[in-house]
Structure 1
């Protein structure tokens, strides 16, 4: 059975990959740079910082 923390970690990484995809699509379709960098920054947050923070708080 998956713990709630593991489910939050998986969800965070999943959302982060969607944000990376959005940042790449934004760059490919020549959208404003602010949008691309915002999506990228949020992706990094969701893929790295949130899972690490959850791991350190629970562990």
Structure 2
């Protein structure tokens, strides 16, 4: 695995956890549900989908 792909994966997971933290904070502070679910959906994208796409692109 190249260093660039590894850094991209680590950055993606970090951003995903940041969005997940934002989703939890928005829920805790009673913000609208749409904001909470949007942040959560973005977090799932950054934590799971993007790293899997990067891993598959390296494997192929």
TM-score scaled to structure 1, two decimals? 0.95
- Segments of structure 2 that go 5 or more residues without pairing to the other structure are none
- Paired residue for 1:49? 49
Cα RMSD of the aligned pairs, angstroms, is 0.9
How far apart are residue 41 of structure 1 and its match? 0.2
- Paired residue for 1:15? 15
Q: What is the aligned residue count? A: 58
Distance 1:51 1:34 in 2: 25
TM-score scaled to structure 2, two decimals? 0.93
- Segments of structure 1 that go 5 or more residues without pairing to the other structure are none
